[in-house]
Amino acid sequence: MRQQTPTLARSWPIARVDEVEDRPFRVFTQRDLDRIEPLTRMSEEARFEMKVVSTVLPFRVNQYVVDELIDWDRVPDDPIYQLTFPQRGMLTDAHFERIAQLYRNGADKAVIEAAAHEVRLELNPHPADQMEMNMPRDAEGNRIEGIQHKYRETVLFFPSQGQTCHSYCTFCFRWAQFVGDKTLRIAASEARMLHGYLREHHEVTDLLFTGGDPMVMKTKHLQGYLEPLLAPEFDHIQTVRIGTKALSFWPHRFLGASDADELIDLLERMVKAGKHVALMAHYNHWREMETPAARAAIRRIRSTGAVIRAQGPLIKHINDDPAVWARMWKTQVSLGIIPYYFFVERDTGARNYFEVPLARAWEIYREAIQQVSGLARTARGPSMSASPGKVEVQGVSEINGEKVFVLRFIQGRNPDWVQRPFFAKYDDQATWLHHLKPAFGEEKWFWEDEYNAIRDDKVGAEA
């Protein structure tokens, strides 16, 4: 489905905090499907399909998204509906039928859950070897839970209180975090462990808080992780990034929430103390930035001196249209947000429904970037967060009569790989790095031996 770019009926100027009405946070999960008012106007079959899909893949939506972001007159094509509500096509027919049949036969909850668990394991729950390759170990060789350290200068931290989101994205590549299976979760319980790790790793300059969404945490918990970083022993941590979709799914977190003022104070204090604080805002569609609450939240965060950088994946049914990206980037620049990444949908979960071939991804990126001014051309992509590193499709070219993809590492497990162009045979169906083959008759990628050695080393340590 190609997205149309409708003239937006709802378009608001930037609102001040005191102009936005507070609203309570009300969330719906699979067991509340019958309580979501607009769904009651849908057929029972459609609701059953949602129930089946959300048995396998996580579903959570809140009232703000239902009321203010989804245009119910455009359902099922509405992009935010596709972004948040389970779709039949997200499961293969075989997987769908397996779960549907159990419901039709009145199977036990435990039997249904066991079947759903088996289906999940077939959906590549941890792409890019997150479990095996990115978790560091302590001096005794024990895995340090809740931390990933893939690139030299950046540590990812998954605070245990931040492993959920205000709503879930249907395509979420971290979906395995939300299905209640402890063996699939990456989370830490202790700030002490994070600080201990950073204390010993002076090569780390950037700390990325991620989840889930760390902004679901109470400010006092966030403070427990962040405040100690202001001590001189953490001067090497120059940048604190917080990955979040709260600006889209629950902007009231920064406005009328009970501890919103403390959160804003905390961001301000960190900036004043000399840290670069960046909210890595996940956006999929310009619609998410149109409500008064969204705009007031952006304005309030920017007033602290924190920077907002925007990133998000290219997703079929949601934003596979250059006009949507061009408008999104223009909107971001006009609101003072820096466009940062244009990702390729990861090879996990319901990817068959959402993925876009790399060749088309590059066309969409190119057509979109051509429509915007230089300030919006800071968005990098299409970028695949693959196991060896972040690989960008720089273009399609013909060299010595061979049609090729021109690729480069934006980030690599070995920093020396970064910015070295390399070439893959053109393939109009490929959707991920592992579908590509080296061009010009080469047998392997220039980085392949080294990557395999790193991999053997890390995975070997698992055994």
d(CA 339, CA 333): 7
Single out the residue of 61, 165, 222, 289 in contact with ligand SF4 (rule: CB under 6 A).
165
Nearer to ligand SF4, 115 or 208 (CB): 208
Which amino acid is residue 162, in one-letter code? Answer: G
Q: Is residue 212 close enough to count as binding ligand SF4 by CB under 6 A?
A: yes
d(CA 35, CA 17): 30
Nearer to ligand SF4, 150 or 174 (CB): 174
Nearer to ligand SF4, 245 or 287 (CB): 245
Q: Is residue 157 close enough to count as binding ligand SF4 by CB under 6 A?
A: no
Single out the residue of 59, 168, 234, 445 in contact with ligand SF4 (rule: CB under 6 A).
168
By CB under 6 A, the count of residues binding ligand SF4 is 10
Provide the minimum distance between the beta carbon of 174 and ligand SF4 in the complex, in angstroms, as a whole number. 5
Q: Is residue 280 close enough to count as binding ligand SF4 by CB under 6 A?
A: no
The residue range among 208-216, 255-263, 408-416, 454-462 that interacts with ligand SF4, by the rule CB under 6 A, is 208-216
d(CA 367, CA 327): 12
Token pair belonging to 274: 């000399």
Q: How many CA atoms lie within 13 A of 423 on its CB side?
A: 14
Nearer to ligand SF4, 209 or 234 (CB): 209
Provide the minimum distance between the beta carbon of 182 and ligand SF4 in the complex, in angstroms, as a whole number. 18
The residue range among 89-97, 168-176, 224-232, 265-273 that interacts with ligand SF4, by the rule CB under 6 A, is 168-176
Single out the residue of 95, 149, 245, 287 in contact with ligand SF4 (rule: CB under 6 A).
245
Token pair belonging to 414: 């070995």
Token pair belonging to 96: 């769908």
Q: Is residue 208 close enough to count as binding ligand SF4 by CB under 6 A?
A: no
Residues near ligand SF4, by CB under 6 A: 165, 168-169, 172, 174, 211-213, 245, 282
